[in-house]
Structure formats: structure tokens, C-alpha cells
Amino acid sequence: MTFDLAGRAPTERRGNLARRIGSFAMALLLGLTVAAGLFGFTSTTSASGNTASSGPQRIIIDTDLSLWWDDATALGMANVLQQRGKVQILGVMSDIRNPVAAAAIDAIDTFYGHSKIPVGAVADSSANTAKHGYSDVLAEQLPHAIRNSSQAQPAVPLYRHLLAAQPNHSVTVVAIGGDTNLAGLLRSGPGQGSSLRGRALVAAKVKDLVIEDGLFPTGGPPFTNELIDPPATKFIVSAQGWPTPIAWVDGFTGISTKVGASLCTTVPPKNPMRIVYTKLFNCGPPGDGDWDGPTLLYAVEGASGIFTELGQGGAAVINSKGGLSWGSGVDHPQEVYVHVANQTELNARINSLIESS
């Protein structure tokens, strides 16, 4: 999801980032950047640990794909990386109540030749309370088998089924939307191929969680992804919440990650990345940053000279404003927050993936 530093509700349409931040928020960003340099340090080992296993990296993507540019790029990038044998997408979960979102996800996967990737829908997605966007256009223009969320599997049982079938400590969960499904998974009971309860199943099968949210280290009020389901986020970061290492790819990463400007001339009209870009920006300059693309890239490739990993020894906590800040890591698994170290290389890497068919 697009990251709104002004703290507006996620259903508002975002304009140009420079216009919407304002002078106070710009001062906040500058101050936080200085603070990150003072209190963080760079690690040489990625929290994603993607060098530990052989074969494609197993990932599950949890997304609020419907309206925002960056969710589409992340899913497109993941499909291209699967084509190249770098990842195995075990499943894609929709975490918003837009029943067409499942169809749009299936349409993107199908375009890249991966129509068999399971798609999960958040509970009560038929309520249709999330604002629609390019999801409807993708469902109208591209082939897909899933017509709406009623034909997708429920997300939490699908999570359990997929995790139960994987080797221990082998799955990276890439969370680029709300935390409803993640909290539901942790609270789930035995079933779907495993006698373990949810938190124990996650601890056994998941290697790490890479999540797009927060503004670290100082933080602020709740921002976009957290606003989808604040109680779920609060549960995820509690001492009894997510039991594996976590990497937070936060709100700084997307500010200058402006990508996709060449899509309308470099890929065919039916490429889903071009369809989405045309819908959002009418083939003009990118009208928003990209947060979820960097999150996916970090989850798969680690720091790779593009990112820095900061905040070792700490953890994300809920602050007095109800948002995320960086606090003590006592009683938490290993956590880091991720910032951009090489913006030029990051933009080039994302563009090279989304311009592939």
C-alpha cells in the first residue's frame, strides 16, 4: 500500500507526495533520518536469511492490492522472480474487503503463467467495504479463473495448509497490507494439515516476516497499513505476537522510489503493470512512490548493497499515539528496520523487473 505520512485514512486518494507531506512532516522526516544515523547501524547479514537454503525461496504474499501502485509492482516482481527460478510463490492473500481483489491477484498471476498459485481472501471480504481501483480494470481486461472472493480460499485456513506442507523454518511471509490475516493465523487452532496452534505453526515453519509499515525509529501516529486493522498490528508486535525474526521496511523507502515511467512504451498493452500504471498515472510521470516493491525485493534478495538494516537489539512497539516506534527488543525475536542505501540501484532494479514479461 502507498504510505501516507500525513496519517490520513487509507481510503483517501493520494496526490503528489511532495504536496501532501507539508512543512512539519518534512521536518519530521529530516529529524528521523538524522536519528536513524545516530541510533542505528548496518548489518552485513540480511534478516531475510535468504542464503541459508537451496532452491527457490518460498514466499507467501499478504497484500491490500486494489488501489495502490506499489502492491501491483510487488506482485508483478514476485511473478517475474518466480519465472526466473528465484522464488516459489506458495500463495497470495488478500487482506482487504474488496471481493474483486482476489480476481485481480489471480489475473496478475495468470498473466505471468502462474494461474495455479492459491489465492486467499480475508474473512468477510464479501462485505466489500474497501475502495476499488485498478483491481476492477485488471479483472475486466485479463483472463482469470477466480471471479471474486467467494471463489478464493479463506486466508487463514489457506495459510495453515500451505505452512503445514513446508519444511521447518523455510517460508518468508511478505506482508504489504493490513495485519488481519497475520493475527488470525497466530490465533488459529489445529487443523488444515497441522496439529499445532497458529503461533506454534508459524514458529515451526516461517523463517521470517518482512513487513511494510512504520516510520522508524521515532515513529508517529498510525499510518496506512496499520490503519487497516490497528488491533491486529498491536497483537503482532506484542510480546506474545509474531514469533520469528521481523524486518520492517518502513515509510522512508518509498519516498524517492518513483518507478514505471517507461512501462507504456516498453511492455505490451495487456501487461498488468502497464494496465495499472495507465489507470493510475495515464502514462505520465509516476504520481506516487513505491513502498511494497522495495519490501518484496528486500525479502527475496536481502540488503544486497541497496538497503541498510538498522535498529538491531530493538523492536517495533506501539507508542503513545497508537502508531509504531522503535523500542526495546526485550522478549522479542530479532528485528531490524530497513532503509534505502542506494536509491538509483533500487529504482533500476524494480524497473527492470516490472518491465519484464
Quick: pLDDT tens for 227-277. 999 999 999 999 999 999 999 999 999 999 999 999 999 999 999 999 999
Q: Which residue has the cell 498471476?
A: 109
Point out which residues pair with 191 in neighbouring strands. Answer: 194
Q: Give residue 223's pLDDT.
A: 85
Cα–Cα dist 330/344, whole Å: 36
Q: What are the cell numbers at 110?
A: 495468470
Q: Which residue has the cell 471474486?
A: 148
Q: For 54-67, what is each residue's pLDDT tens digit?
A: 799 999 999 999 99
Mean pLDDT of 43-48: 39
State yes or no: pLDDT of 95 exceeds 90.
yes
Q: Give residue 33's pLDDT.
A: 39
Q: For 308-352, what is each residue's pLDDT tens digit?
A: 999 999 999 999 999 999 999 898 999 999 999 999 999 999 999
Residue with the larger pLDDT of the pair 15 and 151: 151
Amino acid in the structure at residue 123: A
Nearest to 343 by CA among 308, 311, 301, 299: 308
Which of 34-43, 78-87, 125-134, 326-335 is modeled with the greatest confidence? 78-87
Q: DSSP assignment of 113-171, as one string?
A: T-TTS-EEE-TTGGG--SPPSHHHHHHHHS--S--SGGGSEEHHHHHHHHHHTSPTT-E
Q: Give residue 123's pLDDT.
A: 96
Nearest to 64 by CA among 20, 2, 17: 2
State yes or no: pLDDT of 18 exceeds 80.
no
Distances (CA, A) of 265 to 70, 94, 353, 355: 20, 30, 15, 10
Q: 238: buried, middle or exposed (CB in 10 Å: 19+, 13-18, 0-12)?
A: middle
CATH superfamily of 17-354: Ribonucleoside hydrolase-like (3.90.245.10)
State yes or no: pLDDT of 25 exceeds 70.
no
- Cα angle 174-180-186, degrees, rounded to a multiple of 5: 80
Q: What are the cell numbers at 321?
A: 499515539
Quick count: other Cβ atoms within 10 Å of Cβ 87?
26
Residue with the larger pLDDT of the pair 71 and 25: 71
Q: Give residue 357's pLDDT.
A: 76
Is-above-0.85 flag for pTM?
yes
User: For residue 6, what pLDDT band results from cuts at 50, 70 and 90?
Assistant: very low
